[in-house]
A and B are shown apart, each in its own frame.
Chain A
Amino acid sequence: MKVNDAVWGALLLLLAAALLVHIQSFPTIPGQKYGPALLPGVVGVGLAVCGLLLVIKGLAIRRAGEHLHWIRFEAWTRMPRRVLAFAIAVGVNVFYILSVGVLGFIPTATIYLAALFAVLGVRLRNALPLALAVALVIHYVFYKLLRVPLPWGLLQGIAW
């Protein structure tokens, strides 16, 4: 997804404005000229200048007729399979964050991997056992060897 520079510029201008308004609420340090609002302030001004330049550049390119679309979608966005792969690649991480505490690491990781394997073209027959095996190996390495407290969740009763 390629967005015209002018759109990026406008977004940055918005961000800069929000930033500059927000830092007004930062406290000042008595007797100190340069407080906590300084760095974000400089960043805000910088982003505003860059945003403005990008808007000018983006509009100039459009006027020259080189890059007419505000947003141009790459080839993959027209291939349902790839769009699905992208959505799942992001989605499984959201799923992990939301469910690892409830389901526990091993079930969550198995679903996580199986979904990714399936959408990337691993044969379904193999995807699930493979996912479970990898989840168990990673669990062993991190939980047993490196002592990372991965949650057990549903499997709490049979924790090993």
Chain B
Amino acid sequence: MSSAWAQAFSMVLDPYTILVMVAASLFGLFVGAVPGLTATMATALLVPVTFFMAPIPAIAAIVTATAMAIFSGDIPGCLMRMPGTPASAAYTDEAYAMTRKGLAETALGAGLVFSAVGGLFGTAVLMVAAPALADFALRFSSFEYFWLVLLGLTCAVFITSDRPLKGFVSLLLGLLIAAVGLGNPAAIPRFTFGNVELMGGIGLIPLMIGMFAISEILRFAVDVNPTLHIVDRPIGNVFKGMWHLTVKYPVQILRGSVVGTLVGALPGAGADIAAWMSYAISKKFSREPEKFGTGHVEGIVESGSANNSALAGAWIPALVFGIPGDSITAIVIGVLYMKSMNPGPTLFTTNPQNIYAVYLLFIIANLIMIPLGFLCIKVAKRILQVPRNVLMPVIMLFCVVGAFAINNTVFDIGVMLIAGFAAFVLEENDFPIAPAILGVVLGGMLEENFVTSMIKSEGNLLAFFERPVAATIGVLTLAVWFLPLLLRRLRRIMNA
């Protein structure tokens, strides 16, 4: 046990890893602060580079970059009324209103300090919950996994969208993409149309780069109002008054962190949904709800902690079950497989030092966020003045080379382009993207566990309810599906 921790420390404190973390921090802060570039995009862009690293530095790069990006997304919200990442969108108007009242320091400081607090809280939960879950999951068989995957997909449809029908279409399209190739229990080539490149299936990484980076650049290309206006005013000491806020809003900080971690852990929903929910909860339970929207810091404190705690929360199902908690961990799972750190409960028993290293990385990332974030705020104006018409083409070329680098094939660039175009069109038409991603990542697992279970039980479908844990998750999944329908029917009968 202790030697595993010692190993974890030596891996994380390795000069190379530290260097990677510092570089990834700067990258993450930059990407987060530039509107139109997201934390998921930062992850997708990092993959081709981490491809050439050892597992721990690779994970370090992703953990640090995403934590920084979610914080620095607050900066343009505050100075330009334009969220840097979708995770800051919930309280952008509030932060901008604070800036106009001359409270930019407080808004930015609260964003920074409580991002770190939320991130550390999420990490603590990850450290406690993940091993416990893994211990429990060691006894899981294909029946439990089948239901877990189905529950994950269900959550993705119902949580990420207020239009479950369109979310469901998106999920089905994702499952269809997952079905391409030889990777199915019977090893029959499906939907390959004689194309050799399609035999291996559609690459997850080019697909993700397309859906999260290319689609965003296409959106920039058609943006009718691409110039942004920055509030030009010197920024003072952002840490002033933070202790006062901590004492004033302890419940809000805790509630934001708890909600964030939970939403993060739910498959498909990530930091952005956590922030929206927390902001709404904050307003609902506030003693001064009338102040919300006029430049009141309370909601920023709560949802600022929520979006960073969601990041760590999302790693819980990702590490234990291989079920991504958000779109970032969907990419992370792909990276883990590439580094032969296949997610699953055995990851906690056979190589605990790797898991401990992940915990340490999260702690360090959230601690160095404070000084680096402070520096980022200082140079924010200059970052925000980076000409996006130069930046976006460079990122797109980087995507092209990155997609190519995974398998050294031009075919993957085509996959990336089509995925980017499709994501752009689907989002324009209110189809959410997250369920599709979950479908692609989990499609193989869903099918494999179903077929394995059916072979074991000789085709008896009731076997899915014979083991107690499987039955429980099964009933839960079916409840999520049918409860809303049932309730609506009931209400109609009551009204009649």
Contact = CB atoms under 8 A, between A and B. Distances in A.
Interface of A: 1-3, 8, 12, 19, 22, 26-27, 29, 32-36, 38-40, 43, 46-47, 50, 53-54, 57, 74-76, 79, 82-83, 85-86, 88-90, 92-94, 96-97, 100-101, 109, 112-113, 116-117, 119-122, 130, 134-135, 138, 142, 146-150
A148 B401 contact: yes
Given A8-B429, A33-B459, A93-B400, 7 more contacts: A89-B221, A97-B414, A116-B393, A119-B221, A120-B221, A122-B390, A148-B401
Interface of B: 48-49, 51-52, 165, 168-169, 172-173, 175-176, 179, 184-186, 188, 190-191, 214, 217-218, 221-224, 387, 389-390, 392-394, 396-398, 400-401, 404-405, 408, 410, 413-414, 416-417, 421, 425, 428-429, 443, 446-447, 450-451, 454-455, 459
Contact of B417 (A39, A85, A94): A94
Contact of B186 (A36, A94, A96): A36
Contacts of A93: 214, 396, 400, 413, 416-417
B398 A86 contact: no
Given A8-B429, A54-B169, A90-B421, A97 B188 contact: no
Contact of B397 (A47, A88, A112, A146): A112
Given A40-B190, A89-B217, A146-B52, A34 B450 contact: yes
Nearest to B175: A43
A34 B463 CA distance: 15
Contacts of B454: 33-34
Contacts of A27: 186, 188
B221 A85 contact: yes
B424 to A, nearest CB: 9
Contacts of A82: 221-224
B398 A138 contact: yes
Contacts of B173: 47
Nearest to A145: B52
B464 to A, nearest CB: 13
5 contacts: A34-B450, A39-B446, A109-B397, A116-B392, A148-B48
B198 to A, nearest CB: 14
B393 A57 contact: no
A29 B188 CA distance: 10
B423 to A, nearest CB: 13
8 shortest interchain CB distances as A-B pairs: A116-B393, A120-B389, A85-B221, A36-B188, A76-B222, A89-B221, A148-B405, A93-B417
B202 to A, nearest CB: 14
Contacts of A1: 425, 428-429
Contacts of B405: 142, 146, 148
Contacts of B425: 1
A43 B172 contact: yes
B221 A34 contact: no
Contact of B224 (A2, A22, A43, A75): A75
A65 B169 CA distance: 25
B4 to A, nearest CB: 31
Nearest to B167: A50
A149 B408 contact: yes
A138 B48 CA distance: 13
B451 A34 contact: yes
Contact of B184 (A36, A96, A112, A142): A36
A120 B217 CA distance: 11
Nearest to B188: A36
A148 B410 CA distance: 12
A50 B169 contact: yes
Contacts of B190: 26, 36, 40
B197 to A, nearest CB: 13
Contacts of A12: 169
A32 B425 CA distance: 40
Contacts of B175: 39, 43
Contacts of B389: 117, 120-122
Given A34-B454, A86-B218, A109-B397, A97 B413 contact: yes
